[in-house]
């Protein structure tokens, strides 16, 4: 009897210690959220899919590039801020927006996105050009260039059309790359605590470009995201190895941005 009680206790302890890998709400499966400490409470990082992530901080909820259907956001708080990086359908997705409770949300977008948003959202839009900043709801939002190299007239992502973003939340700087390559503006970033960096060929950059850029600007934590390309998913394990071979102090966090429905 004593052995059975000890075994039961041990199994219970293991169950508590084992990290949750997925969260399921209705028919939606998501990787479990992370929490990052800030000066004004935790920043919750909830991966959704592809280039979309939801942040919760200081009683505010921020949706980034909501895409893939409103069911992917089931059970999450309605957004206070929505950031959209570009005009392509995996960033600006009117069908997903239409299924979300966005009545109170501020939409922060580049001019090209504002031109394509349905009229019903126009009153809630704040346009940021590359290099501009908005201070709102206790946070700051800075628009950062994102573009393809070389800069050509037929580039999928020409300079100035889309925005990456740097958010300052409770003393933490959070960088969202949007669709970009290993550009000088990204390499020049300073003091980034958390970065979300894309890597999918032929749309943005390859794994080695992404790793080299990250080593250059040295975020404390980096999440590879937006890593599905024409030939499937990029090798994020290789990204992690390359980054940590050059700088073991960068915390590379691999999460599943493409959960099964």
The per-residue pLDDT for range 83-107, each reduced to its tens digit, is: 999 999 899 999 999 999 998 899 9
Give the model's pLDDT for residue 151. 85
Please indicate, yes or no, if residue 197 is contained in any of the structural domains: yes
Query: Is a pLDDT exceeding 60 seen at residue 156?
Result: yes
Query: Is a pLDDT exceeding 80 seen at residue 245?
Result: yes
Phi-psi label, residue 105: left if phi above 0, alpha if psi -120 to 50, beta otherwise? beta
Please answer whether residues 195 and 53 qualify as being in contact, where contact means their C-beta atoms are separated by less than 8 angstroms: no
Phi-psi label, residue 207: left if phi above 0, alpha if psi -120 to 50, beta otherwise? alpha
Give the model's pLDDT for residue 2. 38
**Domains in the chain: how many in total?**
1
The β-bridge partners of 133 are 142
For residues 105 and 84, what is the distance between their CA atoms, to the nearest angstrom?
12
Query: Is a pLDDT exceeding 90 seen at residue 26?
Result: no
Query: Is a pLDDT exceeding 80 seen at residue 208?
Result: yes
Please indicate, yes or no, if residue 259 is contained in any of the structural domains: no
Structure-block tokens of residue 10:
């041990």
For residues 99 and 115, what is the distance between their CA atoms, to the nearest angstrom?
20
Question: Residue 28: pLDDT band by 50, 70, 90 thresholds?
Answer: low
Q: Could you give the residue ranges of the DSSP H alpha helices within 109-179?
A: 111-116
The per-residue pLDDT for range 163-207, each reduced to its tens digit, is: 999 999 999 999 999 999 999 999 999 999 999 999 999 899 999
Over residues 135-147, the mean pLDDT reads 97
Please indicate, yes or no, if residue 40 is contained in any of the structural domains: yes
> Which is more confidently placed, 58 or 23?
58
User: 1: which residues sit within 8 A by CB, 6+ positions away?
Assistant: none
CATH number at residue 145: 3.60.15.10
Residue with tokens 């960033």: 91
Omega prior to 255 cis, within 30 of 0: no
Structure-block tokens of residue 137:
């709801």
Give the model's pLDDT for residue 40. 95
Please indicate, yes or no, if residue 11 is contained in any of the structural domains: no
Question: Residue 16: pLDDT band by 50, 70, 90 thresholds?
Answer: very low
Domain of residue 50 covers 26-251
Please indicate, yes or no, if residue 257 is contained in any of the structural domains: no
Query: Is a pLDDT exceeding 80 seen at residue 17?
Result: no
Please indicate, yes or no, if residue 109 is contained in any of the structural domains: yes
Give the model's pLDDT for residue 13. 36
Run of H or E residues at 14 = helix 2-17
Query: Is a pLDDT exceeding 90 seen at residue 123?
Result: yes
For residues 129 and 145, what is the distance between their CA atoms, to the nearest angstrom?
9
For residues 34 and 56, what is the distance between their CA atoms, to the nearest angstrom?
10
| N-to-C CA span, the chain | 43
Please indicate, yes or no, if residue 194 is contained in any of the structural domains: yes
Please indicate, yes or no, if residue 175 is contained in any of the structural domains: yes
CA-to-CA dists, residue 172 to 41, 123, 141, 185, 193, angstroms = 11, 29, 12, 19, 6
Give the model's pLDDT for residue 35. 97
């Amino acid at each position: 009897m004593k052995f059975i009680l000890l075994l039961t206790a041990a199994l219970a302890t293991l169950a508590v210690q084992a990290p949750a890998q997925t969260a399921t709400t209705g028919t939606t499966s998501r990787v479990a959220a992370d929490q990052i400490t800030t000066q004004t409470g935790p920043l919750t990082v909830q991966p959704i899919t592809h280039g979309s992530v939801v942040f919760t901080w200081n009683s505010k909820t921020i949706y980034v590039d909501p895409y893939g259907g409103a069911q992917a956001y089931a059970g999450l708080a309605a957004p206070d801020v929505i950031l959209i990086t570009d005009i392509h359908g995996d960033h600006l997705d009117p069908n997903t927006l239409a299924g979300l409770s966005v009545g109170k949300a501020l939409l922060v977008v580049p001019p090209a996105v504002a031109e394509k948003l349905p009229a019903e959202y126009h009153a809630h839009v704040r346009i940021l050009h590359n290099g501009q900043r908005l201070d709102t709801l206790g946070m700051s939002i800075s628009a950062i260039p994102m573009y393809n190299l070389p800069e050509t007239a037929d580039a999928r992502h020409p300079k100035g059309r889309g925005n990456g973003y740097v958010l300052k939340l409770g003393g933490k700087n959070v960088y969202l790359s949007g669709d970009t390559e290993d550009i000088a503006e990204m390499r020049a970033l300073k003091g980034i605590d958390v970065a979300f960096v894309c890597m999918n060929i032929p749309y943005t950059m390859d794994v080695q470009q992404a790793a080299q850029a990250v080593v250059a600007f040295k975020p404390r934590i980096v999440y590879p995201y937006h890593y599905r390309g024409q030939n499937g998913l990029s090798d994020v394990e290789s990204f992690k190895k390359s980054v940590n071979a050059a700088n073991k102090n960068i915390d590379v966090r691999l999460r599943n941005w493409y959960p099964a429905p």
